[in-house]
Chains A and B, each alone.
Chain A
Amino acid sequence: MTRKKVKLAFITNDSARKATFKKRKKGLMKKVSELSTLCGIDACAIIYSPYESQPEVWPNTLGVQRVLAQFKRMPEMEQSKKMVNQESFIRQRIAKASEQLKKQHKENREKEMTEVMYQCLTGKWLQNLIMADLNDLGWILDQNLKEIYKRIESLKKMTPTQVAPPVAQPPPPPPPQVAAATSEMLARGVHGQEQKPAVESGNVEGMQRPQWYTEWMNNPNENLGFGHGDEMMMQFGDNHNAMWSSAFFP
């Protein structure tokens, strides 16, 4: 079975149209039959075509009469409530597709702004962010921060005796700070963690980083994907060998 995408328009070629009709009609009847059996419900189909004087039906003439009689017995309102024709049906499909598109668009926007956020965290400040971008970026930051605070809370609850990392084991290097703010932060001693940017302090023994982090540190020249490797390297590269050599390359 070839799976070429068929354009949703009247097939002008007569023989192609007839062939399509035969195939699709057969498939349609099969689907009605399956629906009826799988769900144990009554159904019927009537197809008038230019190729036959009599309509083609499912299940059979008697069966159709029975179902239609059942249909006609229902109150008018019930009959028309879920009744559609081409126009109304396609409109319904359009409405649904629009909804899905909106949702997908929103999801993609969130993903996009998450990328922007991570780029900014590595120090690259994107100058051409417009108001809408800044708003969304702020929102993404808020969402992430919410999760982080929650996680910090629960971790602190779980291990109350290990709240502060032992002095002998300094915290790992932070993500490279927003470039302009870094020196300010150091000067101000933000959050009272003087040891924070370990890049400057140089105490790095006893590190227990996840494996991939170790790998990254050992491969500083690996291509970093977003093209912001330069910023990254500027922050870490210079100090890299000097700082880590004692720990990793004794």
Chain B
Amino acid sequence: MAKKPSMGRQKIKIAKIKKKNHLQVTFSKRRSGLFKKASELCTLCGIDIAIVVFSPAGKVFSFGHPDVECIVDRFFTRNPRPNSSAFQLVEAHQSASIRELNLQLTQLLNELEDEKRRGESLDLMRKDSQKRFWWEAPIEKLELNELEQLRDSMEELKKKVTNQSNNILLEIKPPRMNTASSTTDIRSFGYCDGFF
């Protein structure tokens, strides 16, 4: 289940991409990255911004802080940044929730990075073991009699796992009800629907 190694960062020529597929993928990725950079700039430096981008298919994507409409209007009317106390109050609220969201995002990204690293070390462990024990090698590499042996061992283990599961279930199964509460008594006679 190993990930296919990607090509990594390549230096490309800044000219219109010839292949349609490539162009669309590039648009999608770069537009996303552009908005991410814009979002970071807003957070880090507390500025107002709007970006409008048309896709190769003719759809329009836009990013704006505080929002696209507001910036577009400001641009066309040449009005200065609103300064009313009402505006400032709204802005304070927005900033607070944005701060919260950024914290949440940062935490998630850190967790994701940790899990990725854990995955990589598990992969290394696996690669290592595969070299040592023949039955841990990838299945395509095994011969018929090895496969049959492995199959048998696994079937045995499966039985053991099933047994153990059943044991656990038996352990936690509630005892039969003979000292039940009145509610349960009624229930067992099938009256509960009418009463409750």
Q: A residues within 8 Å of B by Cβ? A: 6-11, 17, 20-21, 24-25, 27-28, 31-32, 34-35, 37-50, 55, 64, 67-68, 70-72, 74, 78-79, 81-87, 89-91, 93-94, 97-98, 100-101, 104-105, 107-108, 110-112, 114-115, 117-118, 120-122, 125, 129-131, 134-135, 137-138, 141-142, 144-145, 147-149, 151-152, 155-156, 159, 162-163, 165, 171-172, 174-175, 177-178, 181, 185, 190-191, 193, 196, 209-210, 212-213, 216, 222, 224-226
Q: Smallest distance from the beta carbon of A71 to chain B beta carbons, Å?
A: 5
Taking a contact as CB atoms under 8 Å apart, the answer to whether B168 and A134 are in contact is yes
In the complex with contacts A37-B15, A148-B151, A98-B108 CB distance below 8 A: yes
Which of B59, B64, B118, B145 meets A171, CB within 8 Å?
Answer: B145
- Shortest distance between the CB of B60 and any CB in chain A (Å): 6
Does B62 contact A79, Cβ atoms closer than 8 Å?
yes
Report the Cα distance A130→B35, complex, angstroms: 45
Shortest CB–CB separation between residue B2 and chain A, in angstroms?
A: 11
CB-defined contacts of B34 to chain A, threshold 8 Å: 28, 31-32, 35
Closest Cβ neighbor of A69 among chain B residues: B76
Query: When each residue 39-64 of chain B gets 1 if its CB lies under 8 Å from chain A and 0 otherwise, what string results?
Result: 11111111111111111100111111
CA distance A40 to B54 in the complex (A): 10
* Residues of chain B at interface, number, CB under 8 A: 107
Q: Is the CB of B119 within 8 A of A216?
A: no
Q: A111-B119, A181-B160, A225-B128 are in contact. Are A141 and B47 (CB under 8 A)?
A: no
Contact: B37 with A41, CB < 8 Å?
no
Task: Say whether A117 contacts B101, CB under 8 Å.
Answer: no
